[in-house]
Amino acid sequence: MTDTDDELRIEEPSMTAGEVEMLLFALDRSRATFAWKTGGLDADGLNRRLAPSTMTLGGLLKHLALVEDHRTVLDVTGRPSRTGEGLQRLGPPWDTADPDDPEWVWTSAADDSPEELYALWRGAVARSRAAWAATLADGGLDQHTRSPMWDGDGPNLRRVLVDLHDEYARHVGHADLLREAVDGLVGEDPPQHG
């Protein structure tokens, strides 16, 4: 992934921004930091491990692409790509997952090229951003998820958005350590240009 100014740009909202704008800013800031921490690496860099963990930056890219697509399809739009159960509902490439391997998303990343991993994550982020924008414009954060949970209801979109940001916050910390081990890159936010 070649870092682009747009991908890494952090646009600060007003200090008095509303809830939606502030929550989306927090998510986009974490996405930008994640893009910076995972960007510009070859297959060796994406597959490097920091013992004793088996986690890799490539695995993180694929995992967060899945999280983005999962939240978008099941919670935000409620429109699965396919019928069926589990990841098969999300369509390609998730429909190729081994249903008996809970680590598939992590381990299969080693078989994907850097270009495939970066495109997968970027595509999932783009779909997520578009879905959130359309859905929030049509009712805000108090709406319930589009796919009800086992009890027939679901959390509101506020909870889903906070959980999505939480997932990034957790994994940006992992990416921070893994990237430092690859080439020494450190820092909190991507450099801002222009």
The reply to whether 193 falls in a domain is no
**Within a domain: 121:** yes
Determine how many CB atoms are found less than 10 A away from the CB of residue 162.
16
pLDDT-wise least confident of 54-58, 87-91, 188-192:
87-91
The more confidently predicted of residues 192 and 41 is: 41
Kindly report the pTM of this predicted structure.
0.92
User: pLDDT digit string (tens) for 124-180?
Assistant: 999 999 999 999 998 999 998 877 665 667 789 999 999 999 999 999 999 999 999
The total number of structural domains that make up the chain: 1
Question: Does residue 192 lie in a domain region?
Answer: no
Burial class (CB within 10 angstroms; exposed 0-12, middle 13-18, buried 19+) of 156: middle
Q: Is residue 24 situated within a structural domain? A: yes
Instruction: Confirm whether 129 is domain-assigned.
Output: yes
Q: Which domain holds residue 58?
A: 5-183
191 assigned to some structural domain: no
88 is a domain residue: yes
Q: How many angstroms separate the CA atoms of 87 and 90, rounded?
A: 5
| Rounded distance between C-alpha atoms, residue 60 and residue 64, angstroms | 6
Q: What is the pLDDT of residues 99-115, one digit of tens each?
A: 889 999 999 999 999 99
Nearest to 71 by CA among 173, 167, 171, 169: 167
Residue 64: give its domain's CATH number. Answer: 1.20.120.450
Which pLDDT score is estimated for 73?
85
Closest CA to 66 of 11, 20, 112: 112
CA separation, residue 99 to residues 26, 102, 104 (Å): 33, 7, 8
Q: Please compute Rg for the chain using Cα positions.
A: 17
Specify if 74 maps to a domain.
Answer: yes
Q: What is the pLDDT of residue 1?
A: 47
